[in-house]
Amino acid sequence: MEEGVIALIIAPLVIFMIFVAPIWLILHYRSKKQVNQGLSAEEYATLQELAESAEKMSERIQTLEAILDTEAPQWRNRA
């Protein structure tokens, strides 16, 4: 009886150690290496574009809020 229970525990553990763990480690350290390399030129350019878009959106939101504040002062209380 005990041998059957031990086999049920050991078999998945062995399969995990042989197949899953090495792949897991390889993928983990590959992703760590990519993170440590920093941003590529293309990624940096995309990040800059996104930052500029966010800044423009922020300015537009501020403008829209200013317009709403003058034309409908109670708009913030409606939500």
Q: Is 1 in the same domain as 31?
A: yes
Q: Residue written as tokens 């003058």?
A: 70
In one letter, which amino acid is 74? Answer: Q
Amino acid at 54: A
Q: What is the pLDDT of residues 24-67, one digit of tens each?
A: 999 999 988 877 787 788 989 999 999 999 999 999 999 999 99
- Number of neighbouring beta carbons within 10 Å of residue 68: 13
Q: Is residue 76 a contact partner of residue 70, using CB atoms and an 8 Å limit?
A: no
Query: Are 34 and 2 contained in the same domain?
Result: yes
Residues 22 and 48 in one domain: no
Tell me 31's DSSP state: H
Q: Do 51 and 70 share a domain, yes or no?
A: yes
d(CA 78, CA 37) in angstroms, rounded, equals: 49
Range of the domain at 72: 42-79
* pLDDT over 70 (residue 79): no
Q: Verify that 48 and 66 share a domain, yes or no.
A: yes
pLDDT of residue 64: 95
Answer whether residue 78 shows pLDDT above 90: no
